[in-house]
């Protein structure tokens, strides 16, 4: 059973839970334009960041929560420029170069298509798994770590379904030949690594995560001490729109085939159920998101063995037909 309720975003290690929009403003001849007022708007939450381009025409909007954005550029003597369709992903340094045309401020140039956000500032390699992929791909046990299999360089994954409290081992990845306990795990910027065996702890259900990024190579020192990969996940938050969902996942022995060596199909009843909801408390200011998931497993495990007979426990062994028992030390 897991219960998650996220009210406030952590400020700890914020640089690993956000993204950056960077670019240069130029005119139609390619000359840099300074003093351009840029407004970066998160279209889901109404978050606004305002900044001004420098003498080289460059601008930088760091520490932006992931999500959909639009960027507006304005300066007297030039037409107003609006770029929509920007989807900022986790740890992304999205480059957005803007060209302003000479004209009236009342004139506006709006670009609706998604911008090609190429990362030209970072050197790390990895793969982002977005929220749609998290919730729509089938997962046996609904452990998000299983989806790391879609990243290049991942060879083996161990992602236990159920949380146990004694001597457990959590999620493990083998990435580019590293050991399973050489990876770093983060949740909302905080270390999420089990100290017992340096494995990943149990993440919330996929419906509670906005996305995660598996960084496999050339990541910066901010991610810490692990020599393998970095599994970085961020939880969802509320937006200006109400949204919710409910689910029930079932595994049942009536749907299973019998193992060839088993006399019958083992008993199994596995149910994972829950619901989530999010929305605004105060529009553009305060949001709420909550999720509950329950897990119920009843199963039968068959173990076979051949216990020693009474004579064998006393040291007397019967000779099998056609064979002679010999002492391996003395023959």
Q: Is residue 79 part of a domain?
A: yes
221 and 129 share one domain: yes
d(CA 66, CA 185): 19
Query: Of all residues in the chain, what percent are helix, strand and coil, respectively (each to 5)?
Result: 10, 45, 50
The highest-confidence range among 51-55, 86-90, 156-160, by mean pLDDT, is 51-55
Q: Is residue 306 part of a domain?
A: no
213 and 197 share one domain: yes
Q: Is residue 149 part of a domain?
A: yes
User: How does DSSP classify residue 225?
Assistant: S
Number of residues that this document lists for the chain = 331
141 and 210 share one domain: yes
Which residue is listed with tokens 């329950």?
Answer: 294
132 and 230 share one domain: yes
Q: Is residue 277 part of a domain?
A: yes
Residue 209: which pLDDT band, with cuts at 50, 70 and 90? Answer: very high
Q: Is the pLDDT of residue 310 over 90?
A: no
Express each pLDDT in 261-273 by its tens digit. 788 888 999 999 9
DSSP letters spanning 269-293 = EEEEEEEEEEEEEETTTEEEEEEEE
265 and 197 share one domain: no
Residues 82/72, Cβ–Cβ less than 8 Å: yes
Q: Is residue 44 part of a domain?
A: yes
Q: Is residue 226 part of a domain?
A: yes
138 and 213 share one domain: yes
83 and 178 share one domain: no
Summary mean pLDDT of the chain:
86
The CATH number covering residue 103 comes to: 2.60.40.1120
Q: Is the pLDDT of residue 46 over 80?
A: yes
Closest CA to 200 of 221, 219, 226, 236: 226
Cα dihedral 180/183/188/191 (nearest 10): 100
- What percent of the chain shows pLDDT beyond 90? 49
96 and 56 share one domain: yes
Contacts 24+ apart (CB under 8 A), 131-140: 131/209, 131/210, 131/211, 131/236, 134/206, 134/207, 134/209, 134/211, 134/212, 135/206, 135/207, 135/245, 139/206, 140/251
The token duo for 29 is 């001849």
Query: In the chain, which ranges are continuous DSSP H helix?
Result: 131-136, 310-313
Express each pLDDT in 76-85 by its tens digit. 999 999 999 8
- Count of the separate structural domains present in the chain: 3
Q: Is residue 279 part of a domain?
A: yes
The token duo for 66 is 């992931």
Q: Is residue 119 part of a domain?
A: no
134 and 225 share one domain: yes
Residue 40: which pLDDT band, with cuts at 50, 70 and 90? Answer: very high
The whole-number average pLDDT for the span 204-212 is 93
Express each pLDDT in 85-98 by its tens digit. 899 999 898 999 99
90 and 172 share one domain: no
Looking at residue 287, its pLDDT comes to 95
The CATH number covering residue 135 comes to: 2.170.130.10
Structural domain including 47 reads 11-111
226 and 248 share one domain: no
* End residue of a domain, out of 70, 89, 111: 111
Looking at residue 197, its pLDDT comes to 81
Q: Is the pLDDT of residue 13 over 60?
A: no
22 and 82 share one domain: yes
């Amino acid at each position: 059973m897991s219960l998650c309720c996220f009210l406030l975003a952590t400020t700890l290690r914020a640089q690993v839970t956000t993204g950056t929009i960077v670019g240069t403003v130029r005119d139609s001849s390619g000359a840099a334009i300074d003093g351009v007022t840029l407004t970066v708007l998160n279209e889901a939450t109404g978050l606004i960041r305002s900044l001004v381009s420098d003498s080289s025409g460059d601008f930088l909007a760091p520490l932006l929560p992931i999500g959909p954005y639009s960027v507006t550029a304005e300066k007297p003597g030039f037409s107003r420029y609006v770029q929509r369709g920007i989807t900022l992903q986790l740890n992304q340094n999205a480059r957005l170069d803007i060209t302003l045309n000479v004209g009236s401020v009342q004139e506006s140039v709006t670009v609706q298509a998604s911008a090609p956000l190429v990362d030209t500032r970072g050197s790390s390699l990895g793969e982002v798994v977005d929220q749609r992929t998290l919730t729509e791909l089938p997962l046996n046990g609904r452990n998000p770590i299983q989806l790391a299999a879609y990243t290049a360089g991942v060879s083996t994954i161990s992602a236990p379904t159920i949380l146990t409290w004694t001597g457990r081992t959590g999620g493990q990845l083998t990435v580019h030949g590293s050991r399973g306990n050489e990876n770093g795990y983060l949740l909302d910027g905080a270390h999420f690594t089990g100290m017992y065996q340096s494995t990943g702890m149990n993440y919330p259900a996929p419906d509670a995560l906005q996305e995660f990024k598996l960084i496999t190579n050339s990541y910066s020192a901010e991610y810490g001490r692990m020599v393998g990969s970095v599994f970085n996940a961020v939880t969802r938050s509320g937006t200006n729109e109400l949204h919710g969902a409910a689910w029930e996942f079932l595994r049942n022995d009536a749907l299973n085939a019998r193992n060839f060596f088993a006399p019958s199909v083992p008993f199994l009843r596995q149910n994972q159920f829950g619901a989530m909801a999010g929305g605004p408390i105060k529009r553009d200011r305060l949001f709420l998101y909550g999720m509950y998931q329950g897990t119920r497993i009843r199963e039968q495990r068959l173990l076979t063995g051949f216990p020693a007979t009474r004579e064998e426990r006393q040291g007397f062994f019967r000779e099998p037909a056609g064979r002679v028992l010999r002492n391996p030390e003395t023959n």
